Structure 1
Amino acid sequence: MTEEHRVTDPRELRALAHPLRMRLLDELMIGGPATATELAGVVGESPANCSWHLRQLARYGYVEETGEGRGRNRPWRIVVRSTVYGHSDDSPDAARIGDELSQLRLDRELATLRAWQAGRTAEPPEWQDAAFLGSGFAWLTVEELTEFSRTIVELMLRHADRVADPTRRPADARPVSIVSWAVPSRPAPPQP
Structure 2
Amino acid sequence: MTEQRSREITDVDTLRAFAHPLRLRILDAVGVHGPLTATEVAERVGESPANCSWHLRQLAKYGFVTEAGGGTGRQRPWRLVTDGHQWGNGEESPELARAGDAAARVLLDLEYRKLWDWMAARRQQSPEWRDAGFFSQFVSWYTADELQELQEELRALLARHLDRLADPTARPPGSRPVRLMAWGVPEVDGPTVTDTDTDTEGNGER
Q: What is the TM-score with the length of structure 2 in the denominator?
A: 0.84
Equivalences for 1:139-150 in 2 at 5 Å? Answer: 139-150=141-152
How far did residue 94 of structure 1 move?
1.2
TM superposition shift of 1:3: 2.1
d(CA) in 1 for partners of 2:164, 2:154: 18
Q: Distance in 2 between matches of 1:47 and 1:39?
A: 7
The answer (yes or no) to whether the contact 2:64–2:81 under 8 Å persists in 1 is: yes
TM-aligned CA distance change 1:162 to 1:80, over 3 Å: farther
Q: Deviations over 1:6-65 (max 9, x none)?
A: 112111111111111111111112222111122123323222221221112112222110
What secondary structure, in the 3-state scheme, does the structure 2 residue paired with 1:116 have?
A: helix
2: CA distance between counterparts of 1:167 and 1:49?
31
Tell me the CA shift for residue 5 of structure 1.
1.3
Unaligned runs of 5+ in 1: none
Is residue 32–residue 165 contact of structure 1 (8 Å, CA) maintained in 2?
Answer: no
Q: Spell out, residue by residue over 1:54-82, the C-alpha distance to the aligned partner (whole angstroms, 9 max, x if none).
A: 11211222211012223332111112332
SS of equivalent residue, structure 1 residue 11:
helix
Of 92, 98, 103, the residue aligned with 1:101 is 103
Amino acid at match of 2:117: A
Taking every aligned residue pair, what percent have the same amino acid on both sides? 48
Aligned counterpart, 1:53: 55
Deviates more, 1:104-113 or 1:14-23: 104-113
CA deviations over 1:94-136 (Å, ceiling 9, x no partner): 1111111111111111111112111211111111221111111
- Does the CA contact (< 8 Å) of 2:7 and 2:82 recur in 1? no
Partner of 2:174: 172
Gapped regions of structure 2 (runs ≥ 5): 191-206
Paired residue type of 2:175: A
Q: Which amino acid aligns with 1:53?
A: H
> Out of 64, 67, 84, which is 1:65 matched to?
67
Q: What is residue 38 of structure 2 aligned with on the other side? A: 36
Residues 69 and 78 of structure 1: CA distance in aligned 2, closer, same or farther (over 3 Å) = same
Residue 87 (structure 1) aligns with: 89
Structure 1 Cα separation of the partners of residues 41 and 142 of structure 2: 44
Which stretches of structure 1, 4 residues or more, deviate above 4 A after TM superposition? none
Per the TM alignment, residue 88 of structure 1 is displaced from its structure 2 partner at its CA by 4.2
- Equivalent in the alignment of 1:74: 76
TM-score normalised by structure 1 residue count: 0.90
AA matched with 1:186: V
Q: Which residue identity does 1:185 align to in structure 2? A: E
Does the C-alpha gap of structure 1 residues 187 and 87 become closer, same or farther in structure 2, counting only changes over 3 Å?
A: farther
Helix, strand or coil at the partner of 1:72: helix
RMSD: 1.7
SS in 2 for 1:137: coil
CA distance in 1, matches of 2:40, 2:33: 10
Residues 80, 159 of structure 1: alpha-carbon distance in 2 compared, 3 angstrom cutoff = farther
